[in-house]
Structure 1
Amino acid sequence: MNKGTIVTDAITYIEELEKSSTGLRNQLLEMEATVVEESKLPIDAAEEMKNWGIEPEIKVNQIDRNKLWIKMVFQKKRGGFTKLVEAVSVIGYEFTDTSVTTSSGAILVTACLEVRFKYTFALSNTKIESSKRKI
C-alpha cells in the first residue's frame, strides 16, 4: 500500500460516515415528527377511565366532631377540582391536608375537611346532615 491509496481509502471511509450520519439524522427527525403528531391527538378522559376500569367514587368518613375525611375519584376535566373546592366551600367546609393525583383520565382527591362555620355535622350512611349548634 502506498500513501495515495491510504489517503483515498480514508476519504472514501469519511464520505461513507457522513452519508451514514446524514441518514441517521434524518431518521431521528422523522421519529421526532411522528411523536409530536401523536401527542396532539385529543384524549377523552371518560373513555380513558373506562378503558382502565376506573369508576367514579366518593367515600366520606367522620374523623372528629368538626372534621371529615373524603376520598373522591372523578373524571379529569379542566376546572373540575376548582368546582369541587367551590362547592365544598359553599356548604361550609374548608379543605385541609389535601392530596390530588391524576392518572388515566381520572382525578383522585383525598382530603380532610373542617367546618368553617359554627355548625356541627353528623354523618349518616349515605348523606351528611347538619344541625346548627354553638361550639
Structure 2
Amino acid sequence: MYGTREYPTSGTPPSDIPARLDELRALQDGWYDGYGSAPSSQGLDWLRQHAAHNLGDSPAPYIYPTPEGGVQFEWDIGSFRPSVEIDLETRVGEWHCLGLDADEAHERELQLERPQDWQWLAEQLLLLQGRAT
C-alpha cells in the first residue's frame, strides 16, 4: 500500500477482471497527485490475457494501479489478505499474504511469464479460500 491516498476505483464488480483492467487504460501519467505512471496498454493486454486464463476459478481480486505503472491485485479471503503487485514491464509479481488471526506473513517473487507461477498463485488463492470457510 502507498499511504492513505485513494486509488482510482470504480463501480466494476471485482469478478470482472477484464473490465477493470480496461478501465485502467484511461489513466494518464501523473494520475497520482502529479506523480505516477500510467500502466502500458501492452502490459494491460498481457495481464488481461494471463489473468483471465489462469485465475478463472480463483476468488476475484480488487484491482488497483500502482504509481510505478504496475497493477496490484488484492483479495479479502476470511482472515487472509493476499495481494500481488505486478510489474507490467518485467512481468514479475510480488506476492504478499497476511494472516490476521495467526499474525503471519508470507512473501514470494513470481515470474509471471512462467505458467507454473500463475498455477502456484491460483492454488494459493484456492487454498486460502478453503482455510477461510
Question: TM bucket by the smaller chain?
Answer: under 0.3
Question: TM-score, normalised to structure 2's length?
Answer: 0.24
Question: TM-score, normalised to structure 1's length?
Answer: 0.24
As a proportion of its length, which structure holds more helix? 1
As a proportion of its length, which structure holds more strand? 1
Instruction: Give the structure with higher Rg (CA).
Output: 1
